[in-house]
Every structure is written in structure tokens, then in C-alpha cells.
């Protein structure tokens, strides 16, 4: 187990170091604030938790890490414990230490900051970090491992997505909760339960990954059907599939956000339905949608680009399918919500936010096709999404005229289309790199031998 | 079919660590052409470029007389590509993948598809994620064959297949070309299969074509020569001569009979020369190891 942890540390030390430094800076910058959660637990904390916690492990798993580990003389329990420790225990320790150093630094007059040490802030922050690291790990173990294709699997998938989204939002909106309120305690208890459950579910995660191959050998039940049923296919099928999935996933996330935000805001103020929507969107909710749409719908399609390229589709058609279809779906989603918001600045604001988010999604698709899903491509993709997260804020209706938003979004989308088209023709990254993203989970597009 | 199905002229593609070409390759119409070579020789790169997966830095590719860039869609309508790297898991089930691909090809043969599904033991409702590696390759092959392509390009299609499945694959390939209108370009490391089933071969190494021609003629052109020399004797390098093994004064060399090397060997002190026919595998190993063994 020690060797597994050391191996993880050797490969991901820079990620932990970055997370630690970021945690230090966030705590240092928010010291002295009476309500630090309002400023601390923003998207940045979520990103630190994710990238210092489960991301390295999930990235390893996607590259077939588990298949290597299972050939080594270590027990399932040892692997499981090592995974939990490197994803929850040690990052929590690291973030706690970084936050502690930041708080101590506040006491030093020589660096010119004398905002004081808020023990409550420190403890609450560390507790939250730890619990959400644990919750994220639990959700990793709960991931079904396959693309859903039956009602039961869809139900499981939706439950998983819902829990993950709630946990994300829980981190984001934790600041508006008080530890003394019932809701605050409930959130803490849920996260604590997930953290503890994650420790025990870790073995299940290992076994699940080990058992994937064995499950393949199970004989089929029932009579085989050799005649393929009628149904439309080809490009319309691909377009319809991408569009409907992006749209419905977005809608699902909106509904979930509504439920969560309504619940959170209810205790503080009487808010209308649309206020909750607006709160969700303006607090990065739209970016989560783009992330998820890309992650769950577009990633698998883009990873099959090698196959799509063998079909009688021109580069322009393929680029349009990959860039414009999801973009249109996101814009349609925004239009729908804007329509619900009625007329006036709220609807324009929502539309602007979705338009910019769609253009960020389009740019990230072009990056994926251009660079493939190798390590550099992935980081570039993540970087663009992070930078793009600010665009909707900048081009908020209150701050920028709608015409400027529309012009910039159009420019970005058209550029993304052209880059994608050229990348499909000229770049070999997307074809040559054999991604094993989610390979161990059954979605992989890479060679699995 | 009398014209060439695939013509590659002066094809080059540069990567930071590998350079393909200049490559000239001719696949006659109606032939089963085996492209062989060691790992990393450039087989997959060449096949990818035919299908526009990447852009060649130089040279041209013509498939059925059509330029592969200008008539990309027409070529892909007439050609199919099979590779273990192709994956259809995003479509969930076998039936959905079939329906998706079928939509692109008006000439899709439903009956043939059903027959292949039965032979390959694939069912409409099979989950692609739970198919074995071999079954996924069969699915890839099924999707390619059912569209009745004029040109079939297969990149290591027998990887992961058992002996029976391999036999099935090659049987279907032979059926596919029996009307003399279809062409198969296949790369494989199963040299026995290549020798048995292909009528043309090309041997590629380090991005360059070493040999090309009819399989029987290429194999028949070479002989393994075993002979003795005086102790310490050395043989000067010469085109068509590949030293396979040397034990003291006993030599095993591969000779190209077109170069008239038997007399040349005698002139350089070789005694008791025994010439034996070679298999494609012997030829492959000798030529690929050439330079490493010397």
C-alpha cells in the first residue's frame, strides 16, 4: 500500500502542490472576513478539491491503471485503502495544512497582513474540504461504469448525476448555510456519511474494475436476434442523438439546480422560481452544464472520431455535427429558460450567459479534436473551460450590450467550427492518440487489449 | 476490374519521431493485398492517410481513380475500413451501431448483415461494452462487409481472434472478392494467413516499401542459402544478400535469386551451398532483422 501511495505521489505531486498553494492563497486572501464562506467556497475551492482529490485517481483509472495494479502482489483491500488515502485522506491533510499555514501567516505583521486568525473559519473550511473530498470519492465508487442503455441504468445514472451535482452545489452554496441550522447539519451529515461510505466502498470500486473483464464472458440470455430492427440512421441519427442528449442533460441539470437552490434559499429569503434559476445560472451553474454536456455526451462521441472519419462524411459535415449541434442544443436550452423568465433584463441576461457558455463549449470541442485527448489536450481543454467560465460573467447583460455578446459568441462559434474542420483534416492527434478515457468504465474508445 | 484500386505515389508524412515514405504502393483491382511490416513500420499511418485521418505532407493517394482529398466522401462510400482501434461503444448496442452505419449506405445488404451476425454470433441486442475484444473486431468487420464496399481496408483485423474466427474472417474476405470487383488491403502480423490468402504483398519497414509484388512470386524469388567458408572468412555486403545467422564457418543467408547470388557466393569462397525455399515468415524475419543481425 505504501508503494502505491508513493507511486501516486511521485506522479501527481505537482497537482497536490498546486492545490496546496491555491488553498493557501484563497485562505490568505479571505482572512479577516466575517463570512468567509461567501468568498472562499466559490468555484475555486471546488476545483481544488476536485483536482487534488479524485481527478488524479479517475484519470489513472481511465488509462487502465487498475488493470496494472491487479497484476501486482497487492490485495484488493490494500489497493482500495491506497486509493482512498490518495484521494481523500492525504489531500485533506494537505489542504488543512495549507489553510493552517495561511491562517498563521495572517498573524505575522512582517508581511503586512494583520487580519487575524479565525479558528472557526479554519475548522469549518477544513471540515468542508475533507467532507467534499470524501463525498467526491464516494461518488466515484458509485459510478455505474457503463453508458446507460436500459431504464434501470438510466435511473442509476440520473441518481449518480444528481448526487454529484448536489455535492458540487453543496460546496458552492455552503457559504449560505450555517452550521447551526438544520439544513447545514443535514448537508454535513450527508457528506460525512458519503465520506465514511467511500472508505468501505473503495474495495467495491477495485472489485468492480477487476470484474469488468470477467463480466464480459457471461453467456447471453435469451434468443439472439440477427435481424437488425428498422430505424433511421446515418447523419440524422448522430445529429438527433447529440442534440437530444445535450438538451435533456441540460434540462435535467436545470431541474436539479432548481430543487437544490430553492431548498437553500428558502431558509434565508422568499425567492421566486425564476430567482432560483437566475441564482443557479449566475453562480456558475451554466458552466457545470457545459462541463457535463461535454463530459457525458460529447466526449464519447469525439473519442470515436476515428470511426466517424471512416464514414462518408465530409470534414465540414463532421465539424458541424461536433460543434454546431451541441452549441445549438445549449442555445435552445438557454432560450427555453429565458422564455420562462419572461421578458426583460432577466431573460436577456440568461440568454447572454447561455450564448457565451455555448461558445466556450464550441471552442473546447475544437481543442479536443485538434489536440486529441492526450494529456496536453486534456489540460488545454480544462484551461479553456476554466477561462471560459469567466466569459458569461463578463458578458452578463448588466455589463455588456447584447449585440456585443452575440457578436463575440458568433465569432467564437464560427472560429471553433473552422478550427475543428481544419483539425479533422490536418491534425492526427485525435486519431493517433488512443484514449482510454473511461476505458475501465466501459466507455473507452481505445484499444483494450 | 483491371485498373488499380489504390495507387499511392510518393506519399510522405512526418512525425517528430517517425517519417513515412516516400511510399509508392499499388493495389491492383480485385486483389487481396497484404501489407506487412514490423510494429511501427507505418502500415496504420498509410491506411489512416487513405481515409483522411491526418494530412499527408507529400505525394498523392488515389482510390478507384479518385483523389483521396477532393473526392473524400465518394471514396468513403465505396470503401470500408476495419481496425481494432475503431470503437462503437457510444452506440451502446450492436443493433444501434448497425442502424447508425446503415444510414450512410444506400446499398447496405440487410440479408448479408443478418447472415454475418449469425456467423459471428452477434445479436441485435448485444451490449457493445460487454463484447469481447474479438467480438468487437467481428462487429467492425460486419459493419464494413455489409455495406458491400468495393475496397476494403483492414488494419490488423485478426488481432485477438481465435483460429476459427480467423478462418471465418478470411473465408468472408475471399467471398467478398470472388466476383473480382472488390479489393482488399489487409495488414496483419499473421504471416501464415497473409501468405495463404493474399495474392499480392508489400513489405514496409521504417516507413519505406522494401518489396512489392505477387505473393507467390515474391516468396519464390528468395532462397535461404546454407554454406560453409573458411574460418574467419568475410562476405562483402551486396544488394539481395541478407546474413541471417553465422556460426563459425557455417552461414545462413537469404538471397534474392534475381541478383544471381549463387555464383557470387561460390566466387567468394562458399562451399556446399544448399538452397532451400523460404516461407513468407522466413523472408519477413530475415529482411526485418537485416541490419540488426549484421
> CB B103 to CB A425 under 8 A?
no
B69-78, B146-155, B242-251: lowest mean pLDDT where? Answer: B242-251
Of the two residues A150 and B251, the one the predictor is more confident about is: B251
Give the span between the Cα atoms of A443 and A92, in whole angstroms: 30
A271-275, B10-14, B167-171, B192-196: lowest mean pLDDT where? Answer: A271-275
8 A C-beta contact, residue A103 and residue A122: yes
In this structure, what DSSP letter does residue A217 have?
A: T
Residue of A225, A245, A306, A307 best to disrupt the B interface, most CBs of B under 10 A: A307
CA–CA min distance A232, chain B (Å): 6
Residue that terminates a domain, selected from A212, A243, A274: A212
Give the span between the Cα atoms of A348 and A281, in whole angstroms: 13
Q: In the structure, what pLDDT confidence band is assigned to residue A252 with cuts at 50, 70 and 90?
A: confident
Of the two residues A287 and B104, the one the predictor is more confident about is: B104
Q: Reply yes or no on whether the pLDDT at A316 is more than 90.
A: yes
B174 and B227 share a domain? no
Give A 109-148 residues with CB within 8 A of chain B.
146-147
B201 and B225 share a domain? no
Q: In the structure, what pLDDT confidence band is assigned to residue A221 with cuts at 50, 70 and 90?
A: low
Residue at B294 is within a domain: no
Of the two residues A68 and A360, the one the predictor is more confident about is: A360
**pLDDT mean across residues, chain B:** 87
8 A C-beta contact, residue A414 and residue A366: no
A162 and A260 share a domain? no
Residue that terminates a domain, selected from B149, B182, B206: B206
Q: In the structure, what pLDDT confidence band is assigned to residue B119 with cuts at 50, 70 and 90?
A: confident
A69 and A189 share a domain? yes
The per-residue pLDDT for B152 is 92
CA–CA min distance A234, chain B (Å): 4
> CB B73 to CB A312 under 8 A?
yes
Q: At a CB cut-off of 8 Å and minimum separation 6, what does A299 contact?
A: A368, A373, A437, A438
Residues in chain B, total: 294
Is the backbone of residue A129 left (phi > 0), alpha (psi -120 to 50) or beta? alpha
Give the span between the Cα atoms of A55 and A68, in whole angstroms: 19
Q: Give me the interface pTM, i.e. the ipTM.
A: 0.78
B227 and B135 share a domain? no
Q: Reply yes or no on whether the pLDDT at A67 is more than 80.
A: no
The per-residue pLDDT for A265 is 57
Q: Reply yes or no on whether the pLDDT at A99 is more than 50.
A: yes
Q: What is the pLDDT of residues A128-180, one digit of tens each?
A: 778 878 888 888 777 655 556 677 777 777 777 677 666 666 555 555 555 66
Q: Classify burial at A58, counting beta carbons within 10 Å of its beta carbon; exposed 0-12, middle 13-18, buried 19 or more.
A: buried
Q: How many distinct structural domains can be found in chain A?
A: 2
Q: Reply yes or no on whether the pLDDT at A199 is more than 60.
A: yes
Contacting residues of A for B133, CB less than 8 Å apart? 448-449
Strand B151-155 to strand B183-187: parallel, antiparallel, or no bridges (unpaired)?
parallel
Give the span between the Cα atoms of B9 and A442, in whole angstroms: 40
Q: Hunting for cell 493517433 — which residue is that? A: A432
Q: Which residue of A has its CA nearest to B48?
A: A431
Q: Which residue of A has its CA nearest to B56?
A: A426
The per-residue pLDDT for A147 is 59
Tally of CB atoms within 10 A around A153:
15
The per-residue pLDDT for B65 is 92
Closest CA to A415 of A328, A309, A333, A324: A324
CATH of residue B78's domain is: 3.40.50.300
8 A C-beta contact, residue A363 and residue A417: no
Give the DSSP letter string of A23-67: HHHHHHHHTT-SSHHHHHTTHHHHHHHHHHTHHHHHHHHHTTHHH
Strand B241-247 to strand B32-36: parallel, antiparallel, or no bridges (unpaired)?
unpaired
Residue that terminates a domain, selected from A180, A212, A244: A212
8 A C-beta contact, residue A336 and residue A277: no
Strand B79-82 to strand B151-155: parallel, antiparallel, or no bridges (unpaired)?
parallel
> Domain range holding B234?
218-289
Of residues B48, B73, B101, nearest to A233 (C-beta)? B101
Q: Which residue of B has its CA nearest to A242?
A: B90
Residue at A220 is within a domain: no
Q: In the structure, what pLDDT confidence band is assigned to residue B207 with cuts at 50, 70 and 90?
A: very high
A196 and A270 share a domain? no
A197 and A252 share a domain? no
CA–CA min distance A278, chain B (Å): 34
Does A73 lie at the interface with B, CB-CB under 8 angstroms? no
Contacting residues of B for A442, CB less than 8 Å apart? 89, 129-130
Q: Reply yes or no on whether the pLDDT at B177 is more than 70.
A: yes
A148 and A207 share a domain? yes
B190 and B107 share a domain? yes
Does A221 lie at the interface with B, CB-CB under 8 angstroms? no
Residue that terminates a domain, selected from A212, A246, A275: A212
Contacting residues of B for A146, CB less than 8 Å apart? 127, 129
Q: In the structure, what pLDDT confidence band is assigned to residue A103 with cuts at 50, 70 and 90?
A: confident
> CB B101 to CB A314 under 8 A?
no
Q: State the average pLDDT over residues A192-196.
A: 86
Q: How many distinct structural domains can be found in chain B?
A: 2
Give the DSSP letter string of A245-314: HHHHHHHHHHHHHHHHHHHHHHTT----HHHHHHHHIIIIIHHHHHHHIIIIIIHHHHHTHHHHTTSS--
B150 and B285 share a domain? no
B117 and B14 share a domain? yes
Q: In the structure, what pLDDT confidence band is assigned to residue A446 with cuts at 50, 70 and 90?
A: very low
CA–CA min distance B52, chain A (Å): 6
Q: State the average pLDDT over residues A394-407.
A: 74
Closest CA to A360 of A434, A286, A448: A286
Contacting residues of A for B118, CB less than 8 Å apart? 224, 226
Q: In the structure, what pLDDT confidence band is assigned to residue B60 with cuts at 50, 70 and 90?
A: very high
CATH of residue B275's domain is: 3.30.70
Give the DSSP letter string of A139-207: HHHH--SS---SHHHHHHHHHHHHHHHHHHHHHHTGGGS-TTSHHHHHHHHHHHHHHHHHHHHHHHHHH
The per-residue pLDDT for A441 is 39
Residue at B251 is within a domain: yes
Residue that terminates a domain, selected from B185, B206, B227: B206
Helix ranges (DSSP H) in B24-109? 43-50, 72-78, 94-102
Give the span between the Cα atoms of A204 and A144, in whole angstroms: 11
Residue at B213 is within a domain: no
Does A313 lie at the interface with B, CB-CB under 8 angstroms? yes
CA–CA min distance A213, chain B (Å): 8
> CB B123 to CB A224 under 8 A?
yes
Q: Of all helices (H) and strands (E), which one includes residue B24? A: strand B19-28
A101 and A201 share a domain? yes
Of residues B48, B55, B113, nearest to A228 (C-beta)? B113
B105 and B178 share a domain? yes
- CA within 13 Å, CB half, B20: 28
Q: Reply yes or no on whether the pLDDT at B180 is more than 90.
A: no
Edge to edge, the sheet with strand B222-228 lists B241-247, B250-256, B222-228, B271-277
Closest CA to A413 of A370, A366, A373, A372: A366
> Domain range holding A45?
2-212
CA–CA min distance B88, chain A (Å): 7
Give the 3-state secondary structure of residue B224: strand
Closest CA to A204 of A155, A153, A157, A145: A145
Q: State the average pLDDT over residues A102-118.
A: 63
A109 and A257 share a domain? no
The strand pairing partners of B186, in sequence order, are: B34, B154
8 A C-beta contact, residue A206 and residue A66: yes
Of the two residues A292 and B145, the one the predictor is more confident about is: B145
The cell for B48 is 489512416
A398 and A320 share a domain? yes
B282 and B180 share a domain? no
* Degrees to nearest 5, angle at CA A340 with A339 and A345: 65
Q: Reply yes or no on whether the pLDDT at A33 is more than 80.
A: no
The per-residue pLDDT for A216 is 44
Instruction: Compute φ and ψ for B187, nearest 5 degrees.
Output: -110, 135
Contacting residues of B for A314, CB less than 8 Å apart? 72-73
Q: In the structure, what pLDDT confidence band is assigned to residue A186 with cuts at 50, 70 and 90?
A: confident
8 A C-beta contact, residue B84 and residue B137: yes
Q: At a CB cut-off of 8 Å and minimum separation 6, what does B276 contact?
A: B223, B224, B226
In this structure, what DSSP letter does residue A399 have?
A: T
The cell for B258 is 534475381
Torsion of CA A63, A68, A74, A76, to 10 degrees: 50
Q: Which residue of B has its CA nearest to A440?
A: B129
Amino acid at each position: 500500500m505504501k508503494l502505491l501511495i508513493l507511486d501516486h505521489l511521485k506522479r501527481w505531486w505537482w497537482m497536490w502542490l498546486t492545490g496546496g498553494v491555491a488553498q493557501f492563497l484563497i485562505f490568505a486572501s479571505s482572512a479577516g472576513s466575517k463570512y468567509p464562506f461567501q468568498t472562499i467556497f466559490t468555484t475555486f475551492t471546488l476545483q481544488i478539491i476536485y483536482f487534488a482529490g479524485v481527478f488524479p485517481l479517475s484519470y489513472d483509472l481511465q488509462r487502465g491503471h487498475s488493470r496494472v495494479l491487479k497484476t501486482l502482489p497487492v490485495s484488493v483491500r490494500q489497493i482500495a485503502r491506497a486509493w482512498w488515502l490518495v484521494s481523500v485522506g492525504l489531500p485533506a491533510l494537505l489542504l488543512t495544512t495549507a489553510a493552517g499555514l495561511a491562517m498563521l501567516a495572517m498573524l505575522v505583521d512582517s508581511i503586512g497582513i494583520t487580519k487575524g486568525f479565525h479558528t472557526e473559519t479554519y475548522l469549518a473550511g477544513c471540515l468542508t474540504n475533507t467532507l467534499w473530498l470524501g463525498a467526491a470519492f464516494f461518488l466515484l465508487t458509485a459510478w455505474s461504469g457503463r453508458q446507460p442503455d436500459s431504464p434501470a441504468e438510466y435511473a442509476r445514472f440520473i441518481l449518480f448525476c444528481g448526487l454529484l451535482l448536489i455535492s458540487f452545489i453543496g460546496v458552492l452554496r455552503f457559504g449560505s448555510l450555517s452550521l447551526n441550522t438544520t439544513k447545514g447539519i443535514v448537508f454535513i451529515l450527508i457528506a460525512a456519511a458519503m465520506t465514511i461510505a467511500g472508505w468501505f466502498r473503495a474495495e467495491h470500486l477495485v472489485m468492480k474494475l477487476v470484474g469488468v473483464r470477467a463480466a464480459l464472458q457471461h453467456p447471453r440470455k435469451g434468443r439472439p436476434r440477427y435481424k437488425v430492427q428498422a430505424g433511421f440512421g446515418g447523419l440524422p441519427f448522430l445529429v438527433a442523438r447529440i442534440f437530444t442528449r445535450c438538451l435533456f442533460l441540460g434540462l435535467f441539470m436545470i431541474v436539479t439546480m432548481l430543487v437544490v437552490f430553492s431548498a437553500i434559499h428558502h431558509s434565508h429569503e422568499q425567492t421566486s422560481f425564476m430567482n432560483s434559476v437566475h441564482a443557479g445560472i449566475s453562480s456558475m451553474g451554466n458552466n457545470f452544464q457545459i462541463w457535463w454536456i461535454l463530459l457525458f455526451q460529447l466526449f464519447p462521441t469525439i473519442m470515436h472520431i476515428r470511426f466517424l472519419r471512416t464514414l462518408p462524411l465530409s470534414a465540414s459535415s463532421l465539424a458541424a455535427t461536433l460543434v454546431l449541434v451541441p452549441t445549438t442544443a445549449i442555445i435552445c436550452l438557454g432560450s427555453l429558460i429565458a422564455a420562462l423568465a419572461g421578458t426583460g433584463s432577466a431573460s436577456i441576461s440568461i440568454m447572454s450567459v447561455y450564448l457565451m457558455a455555448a461558445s466556450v463549449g464550441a471552442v473546447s470541442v475544437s481543442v479536443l479534436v485538434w489536440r486529441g485527448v492526450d494529456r496536453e489536450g486534456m489540460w488545454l481543454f480544462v484551461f479553456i473551460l476554466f477561462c471560459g467560465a469567466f466569459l458569461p460573467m463578463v458578458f452578463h447583460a448588466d455589463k455588456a450590450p447584447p449585440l456585443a455578446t452575440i457578436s463575440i459568441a458568433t465569432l467564437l462559434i464560427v472560429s471553433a467550427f473552422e478550427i475543428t474542420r481544419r483539425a479533422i483534416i490536418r491534425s492526427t492527434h485525435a486519431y493517433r492518440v488512443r484514449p482510454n478515457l473511461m476505458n475501465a468504465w466501459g466507455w473507452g474508445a481505445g484499444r483494450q487489449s | 476490374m483491371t485498373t488499380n484500386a489504390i495507387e499511392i505515389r510518393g506519399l510522405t508524412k512526418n512525425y517528430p519521431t517517425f517519417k513515412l515514405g516516400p511510399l509508392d504502393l499499388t493495389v491492383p483491382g480485385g486483389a487481396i493485398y497484404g501489407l506487412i511490416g514490423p510494429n511501427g513500420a507505418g502500415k496504420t499511418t498509410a491506411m489512416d492517410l487513405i481515409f483522411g485521418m491526418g494530412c499527408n505532407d507529400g505525394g498523392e493517394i488515389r482510390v478507384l481513380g479518385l483523389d483521396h482529398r477532393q473526392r473524400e466522401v465518394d471514396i468513403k462510400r465505396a470503401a470500408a475500413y476495419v481496425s481494432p482501434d475503431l470503437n462503437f461503444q457510444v452506440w451502446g448496442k450492436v443493433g444501434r451501431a448497425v442502424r447508425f452505419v446503415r444510414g450512410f449506405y444506400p446499398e447496405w445488404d440487410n440479408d448479408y448483415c443478418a447472415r454475418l451476425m449469425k456467423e459471428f454470433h452477434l445479436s441485435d441486442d448485444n451490449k457493445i461494452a460487454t463484447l469481447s475484444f474479438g467480438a468487437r473486431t467481428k462487429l467492425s468487420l460486419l459493419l464494413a462487409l455489409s455495406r458491400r464496399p468495393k475496397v476494403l481496408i483492414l488494419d490488423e483485423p485478426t488481432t485477438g481472434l481465435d483460429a476459427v474466427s480467423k478462418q471465418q474472417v478470411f473465408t468472408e474476405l475471399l467471398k467478398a472478392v470472388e466476383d473480382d470487383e472488390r479489393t482488399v488491403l489487409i495488414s496483419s502480423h499473421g504471416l501464415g494467413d497473409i501468405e495463404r490468402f493474399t495474392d499480392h504483398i508489400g513489405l514496409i519497414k521504417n516507413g519505406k516499401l522494401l518489396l512489392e509484388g505477387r505473393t507467390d512470386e515474391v516468396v519464390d524469388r528468395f532462397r535461404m542459402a546454407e554454406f560453409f567458408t573458411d574460418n574467419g572468412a568475410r562476405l562483402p555486403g551486396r544488394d539481395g544478400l541478407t546474413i541471417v545467422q553465422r556460426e563459425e564457418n557455417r552461414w545462413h543467408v537469404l538471397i534474392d535469386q534475381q541478383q544471381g547470388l549463387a555464383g557470387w557466393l561460390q566466387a567468394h569462397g562458399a562451399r556446399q551451398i544448399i538452397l532451400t525455399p523460404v516461407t513468407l515468415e522466413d523472408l519477413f524475419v530475415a529482411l526485418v532483422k537485416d541490419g540488426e543481425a549484421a
